[in-house]
């Protein structure tokens, strides 16, 4: 029983050991000196999903990987790359999951079509309900 309690305690503490003890990447928490470049970086970072956190952008996440991604975005923007090029590189490396705005493809079609289908279904049901009330 004691071993089970220790195992559960260690398992519960596992997320605390997820990040390393390494210092943060140089530009992870430091803004660029050029305000226009920093604005581009911030705009891009809010559209990129943290791969470790659920539902947070890399701009909002405190995860080590999000910090590394913020540093990468800032470094590439500082070197003159356009945000679209950086996004394309990240999507090629991590897949469509890294962006909050996945492109329309056969795989993502249900994400784009389902809301429209639900709106049409709701309008059809509302119309049928109003017709029944008139009679």
Could you give the CA distance from residue 39 to residue 34 in angstroms, rounded to a whole number?
A: 9
Please list the pLDDT of the chain residue by residue as tens digits (135 residues): 888 778 777 666 555 555 556 666 677 778 888 999 999 999 999 999 998 887 899 998 888 888 999 999 999 999 999 999 999 999 999 888 888 877 778 887 888 889 999 999 999 999 998 888 877
φ/ψ region of 55 (left if φ > 0, alpha if ψ in -120 to 50, else beta) reads left
Helix (H, G, I), strand (E, B) or coil at 57: strand
Whether the CB-CB separation of 57 and 46 falls below 8 Å is answered with yes
**Whole-model pTM above 0.85?**
no
Could you give the CA distance from residue 8 to residue 19 in angstroms, rounded to a whole number?
A: 20
Q: What is the CA angle 12-13-19, rounded to 5?
A: 130
């Amino acid at each position: 029983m004691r071993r089970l309690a220790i195992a559960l305690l260690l398992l519960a503490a596992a997320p605390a050991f997820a990040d390393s003890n390494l210092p943060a990447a140089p530009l992870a928490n430091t803004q660029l000196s050029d305000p226009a470049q920093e604005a581009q970086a911030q705009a891009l970072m809010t559209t990129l999903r943290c791969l470790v956190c659920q539902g947070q952008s890399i701009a909002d996440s405190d995860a080590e990987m999000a910090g590394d991604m913020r540093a990468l975005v800032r470094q590439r923007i500082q070197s003159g790359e356009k945000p679209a090029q950086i996004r394309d590189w990240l999507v090629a490396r991590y897949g469509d999951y890294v962006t909050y705005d996945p492109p329309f493809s056969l795989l993502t079609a249900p994400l784009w079509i389902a809301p429209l289908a639900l709106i049409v279904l709701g309008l059809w049901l509302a119309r049928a309900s109003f017709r029944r009330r008139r009679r």
